[in-house]
Structure 1
Amino acid sequence: MSAIKVIGIDLGKSVFHLIGHDYSGHEVCRHKLTRVKLIQFISLQESTTIAMEACCGAHWLARKCQEYGHKVKLIPAQYVKPYVKSHKNDFIDADAIAEAATRPKMRFVSPKSEQAQISTVIRKIRTGYIRERTSCMNRVGSILLEFGISFPRGHANMKKLFQWLADKEAIVPPQLILELRDLLDYYNQLNEKVAAQDQKLIELNKENELYALLQTIPGIGPMTASCCLSSVGDPKDFANGRNFAAWIGLVPFQYTTGGKPRLLGISKRGNKELRELFVHAARAVMWRDASAERYFGSWLIDLKCRKPFNVAVVALANKLARIAWSVMNARKAFEVKA
């Protein structure tokens, strides 16, 4: 059998399909393997390039492949699709992945560390608690509305629910009071769980100097810094800060044809969580004119006067993203030299 240049793996939950290409691009092997058999197969192969789509389970398998001395290339799924030929099945997908990995201008994703994945899991669980907490608050409001009581929104009012009812001298059935008490207890439990997740993120990243360094950027706090560290495997994946901001989706969507440039709204591509956090960071700065002028000078004040508030917020979020990339890239370069 010819030497294998690249192995394309189509990931699955229990079964994995892989195809190997030689240096001429011809198929030299194809296998359908279980997870255990796949690890055994990889461990017996000489060092080669292994390509996968950057999807569920890819980063764990990438770390396993690197342990056996292989070079791993993770490809965004949308960049693999053009190489799928004819009908779609698992072996055709694996073949397309292997072919896409050999393209000179293909873009790749750096495998994430175990700590980065754990940080992502903690934030996802935190987001789930926040959604449940919002549902709980809406549930209380809708229940009271059924009894002719318009309860105002907001955490401040929710925390003093029964005091608010007493001040309004609202007539509430005793059985309903018991139900509202259970909902309020559930709301308080969710608050505690959200706070616990926040503390876990701080403990997980407290030894990381870059985590503290990112928080020196105006508007960026622990959550945004943690998301930057876990979402960006290697800042060198981006040529510059502009590419990083484009990956987040903070640049206009471009539709240019016939030499006529046309810029639409922001593309909203890439990492939704990171984009949302940068927008919130920008909004926190924009709300305070003194802070905005101190950190960004007259540029931001003039922008607020010329453009709608939300447009200015997105422009500032774009600038914050570029600054964050510069900080991560400079720190990475310093660590390499050291």
Structure 2
Amino acid sequence: MNSSMDLLQNYIQSFGYDWLSNVLLITTGSFFLWVIWRLIYGRLEALADRTQLAWDDLVIKAVKAPISMLIWVWPATVSVGLVLATHSNDDVVWLGKIDLILVISTFIWISLRLISNVEAHVLDQKKRDETTVQAIAKVARLFFVTIGILTIMQALGLSLSGLLTFGGVGGLIVGLAAKDLLSNFFGGMMIYFDRPFKVGDWIRSPDRSIEGTVERIGWRMTIIRTFDKRPLYVPNSVFSNIVVENPSRMLNRRIYEKIGLRYDDGDKIDAIVDEVKAMLEQHKDIDATQTLMVNFDAFGPSSLNFFVYTFTKTVNWARYHEVKQDVLLKIMAIIKKHGADIAYPTQTLKVDPIAMARDAEQPVGIVER
């Protein structure tokens, strides 16, 4: 890299112009090179649009801005070298390292843009689990950034072996100082690998006041949108110590209701229970393969109670309540059909007529003041 830069500077200086003319020449050359790149990019983009593959479009979009930046910035370093060589006797070898860092940074930038494009493309197709795709994209970004940083450090002349040795001791110190940050990081890794929930799931915890829809799972915290539309930011380490319920993964929703009939309808309860059970077995929104029970249950204080225990096919919360309403209305119609009625709390008062007559014969006392 250093030799190529020196050759380019010597070639430009061979024209015999002053430094300002050389800088203008380099800038003009960069402009024409940028125009040529734009024409080539437009041609490649048109060719990619004709194909049915999406990957060529993603790659072309990823290299557009980084290469444009490289076309302008790399010749700019050559111009800086010419200016410094003219007005100063200082060594400009360090500019070669900057060019190397620039090339490495361009490669890392292209890789990160490509990862983002692929992630957005896969998520738009909605054929893959969103949480898994985001986790893989984050790991890939971390990998390329780490490789880029290590390569830049090596280009600057730093010893990687010494750095790794220092990292072993420094890592222990940093780990003790940032244990909460690390616990959140590993909590996020646990979520990604164990997958107790994913983006879009409705979750809640009986241990904490946490309930809502998962919006984002980050490395440090998870964002949950509560049902009153407030964002809830939960550190990932919390999920290592609490019980998390995921209602979004229910296979069915349960209907469990107790219904009371009047004591006067005791001779009709057997027929009502049988007909309610038959209605549920034939209901199109009730899963008859799951547990289905309708039985006389208890003698209540003012009613004869029977219970309904069944499961709906839908797990959608709004649709579940529509099915439950339909079931309850049909149960009420069956009760009316048999000439019975749903009981309500009543009390029976028994009066002793002899005691009442005796109390009536006693004179009422007059209290004088």
Coarse TM-score class (shorter-chain normalised): under 0.3
The alignment's TM-score, normalised by the length of structure 2, stands at 0.21
Larger radius of gyration: 2
The alignment's TM-score, normalised by the length of structure 1, stands at 0.22
**Larger RCO: 1 or 2 (CA < 8 Å, sep 6+):** 1
